[in-house]
């Protein structure tokens, strides 16, 4: 059954004044999963950088003056694909607002912006053990899993 969309939701580009509320969403997500927050100062710095540095954007969903969710996206010039990639690092909806089309609206906005900027594609990672993966959130929005690529990371001490 189609889930009911939350009414009165506005999706807009974040302003520097949204920084604290975006950070609060991240802290809520850590708490929900029983994780220790990694450090308020580094979180605030990462949010601030996304908000104020060219090439990075944050979009927020708001209702009744409250932030329900946000998306952080990074525009990456990418010679090997002869163009630019939109990399979606964060997509998060507050627990109470999930399943009401807020996340899919934020994602649609990121895609519209990526098209506007002439991006070739939007790329993201989604943990296999997440509810979003289990519920096929991204395939439902038209994303394909790239099983032909290995996803490597090196954590720097």
Ligand X SMILES: CC(C)(COP(=O)(O)OP(=O)(O)OC[C@H]1O[C@@H](n2cnc3c(N)ncnc32)[C@H](O)[C@@H]1OP(=O)(O)O)[C@@H](O)C(=O)NCCC(=O)NCCS
Report the length, in residues, of the chain. 157
91, 110, 119, 122: residue in contact with ligand X (rule CB under 6 A): 91
Block residue for tokens 């969903």: 61
Q: How far is the CB of 24 from ligand X (least distance, A)?
A: 14
Task: Give which of 60, 57, 52 is closest to 21, Cα–Cα.
Answer: 60
Position closest to ligand X via CB: 103
Is the Cβ–Cβ distance between 104 and 91 less than 8 Å?
A: no
75 scored as a contact of ligand X (CB under 6 A) = no
Cβ proximity to ligand X: between 54 and 142 the closer is 142
d(CA 148, CA 141): 20
If binding is defined by CB under 6 A, does position 55 make contact with ligand X? Answer: no
Residues of the shown chain interacting with ligand X in the complex, contacts defined by CB under 6 A: 2-3, 91-93, 98-104, 124, 126, 130-132, 135, 137, 140
């Amino acid at each position: 059954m189609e889930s009911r969309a939350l009414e009165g939701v506005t999706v807009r580009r974040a302003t520097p004044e949204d920084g604290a509320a975006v950070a609060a969403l991240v802290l809520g997500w850590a708490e929900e999963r029983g994780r220790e927050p990694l450090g308020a100062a580094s979180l605030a710095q990462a949010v601030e950088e996304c908000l104020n540095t060219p090439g990075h954007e944050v979009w927020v969903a708001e209702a009744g003056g409250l932030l329900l969710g946000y998306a952080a996206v990074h525009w990456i010039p990418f010679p090997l694909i002869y163009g630019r990639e939109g990399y979606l690092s964060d997509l998060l909806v507050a627990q109470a607002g999930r399943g009401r089309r807020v996340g899919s609206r934020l994602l649609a906005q990121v895609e519209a912006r990526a098209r506007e900027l002439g991006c070739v594609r939007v790329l993201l990672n989604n943990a296999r053990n997440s509810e979003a993966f289990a519920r096929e959130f991204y395939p439902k929005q038209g994303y394909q899993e790239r099983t032909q690529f290995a996803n490597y990371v090196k954590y720097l001490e």
